């Protein structure tokens, strides 16, 4: 790992990181898992994550992802599988975690139908999806969702919405998009020349820190329009 990448990883989650504004909202959704007790949870699209720190010790977690997706992660999943065809028996899971995954599934309707199948009656789905966020994990980034489409999809597939919240506000989203645009420019410069990339990074990083500082007082501005990074929902499978 290069020194720049190592430093980038160390700063993750702090105001010194260019993606701090979006990361802090995404980290906040882990607090929803604190209420889960004595459950078998299926973490779909787990990547390299480890949710044990966010969960009570009475729970058991099965982490599922594609084999090829996990080739770059040090923490491989427990189960290799596809969200559109889950390798679990019907009504065998107490709760499903689907954080920032649905946009990467070609047939998200089929994935929700599969989740409803494996969840026991009354089982819960903890899900987050992006709304305003750049294309990521290309070319496997297919959809963006509004709260209206989420409600319709969940109801159609046998879920009852229990909780819905948005991540961020228009001002914070604007500052984060600028930071991400600066990072993308640096990456393009690095593709041309290491020297140009280093110079671009040296110029962009202070701007990212300035944006973080300017956005910090606006983090809780619920009145700042309907724009947001995405949505978090908790839904219950109807019995």
- Take residue 142 and report the two structure tokens written for it: 């297919």
The model's pTM is 0.91
User: Options 3.40.50.150, 3.30.160.270, 3.30.70.660, 3.40.1190.20; which CATH number does 36-169+224-237 get?
Assistant: 3.40.50.150
How far apart are alpha carbons 218 and 169 in whole angstroms? Answer: 8
Give, in degrees to the nearest 5, the angle at Cα 1 between 183 and 205.
25
Question: What ranges do the domains of the chain cover?
Answer: 1-22+170-221, 36-169+224-237
Q: Cβ(25)–Cβ(227) under 8 Å?
A: no
Residue by residue, pLDDT tens for the chain (239 residues) are 466 677 777 888 899 999 999 999 888 888 899 889 999 999 999 887 778 788 888 999 999 998 776 666 677 888 889 999 999 999 999 999 999 999 999 999 999 999 999 999 999 999 999 999 999 988 999 999 999 999 999 999 999 999 999 999 999 999 999 999 999 999 999 999 999 999 999 999 999 999 999 999 999 887 767 899 999 999 999 97
Q: Cβ(93)–Cβ(42) under 8 Å?
A: yes
- Take residue 181 and report the two structure tokens written for it: 């645009």
pLDDT per position as a tens digit, 191-232? 999 999 999 999 999 999 999 999 999 998 877 678 999 999
């Amino acid at each position: 790992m290069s020194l720049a990448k190592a430093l980038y990883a160390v700063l993750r989650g702090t105001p010194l990181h260019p993606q701090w504004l979006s990361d802090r909202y995404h980290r906040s959704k882990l607090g929803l898992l604190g209420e889960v007790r004595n459950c078998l949870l299926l973490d779909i699209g787990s990547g390299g994550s480890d949710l044990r720190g966010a969960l009570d010790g009475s729970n058991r977690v099965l982490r599922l992802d594609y084999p090829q997706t996990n080739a770059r992660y040090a923490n491989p999943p427990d189960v290799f599988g596809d969200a559109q065809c889950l390798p679990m028996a019907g009504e065998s899971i107490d709760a499903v975690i689907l954080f920032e995954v649905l946009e990467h599934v070609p047939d998200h309707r089929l994935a929700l139908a599969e989740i409803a199948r494996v969840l026991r009656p009354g089982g819960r789905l903890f899900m987050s999806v992006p709304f305003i966020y750049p294309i990521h994990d290309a070319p496997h980034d297919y959809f963006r969702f509004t709260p209206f489409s989420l409600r319709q999809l969940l109801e159609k597939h046998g879920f009852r919405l229990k909780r819905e919240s948005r991540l961020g506000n228009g001002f914070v989203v604007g500052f984060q998009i600028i930071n991400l645009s600066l990072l993308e420019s640096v990456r393009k410069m690095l593709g041309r020349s290491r020297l140009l990339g280093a110079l671009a990074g040296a110029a962009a990083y202070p701007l990212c820190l300035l944006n973080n500082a300017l956005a910090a007082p606006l983090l809780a501005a619920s009145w700042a329009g309907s724009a947001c990074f995405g949505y978090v929902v908790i839904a219950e499978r109807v019995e």
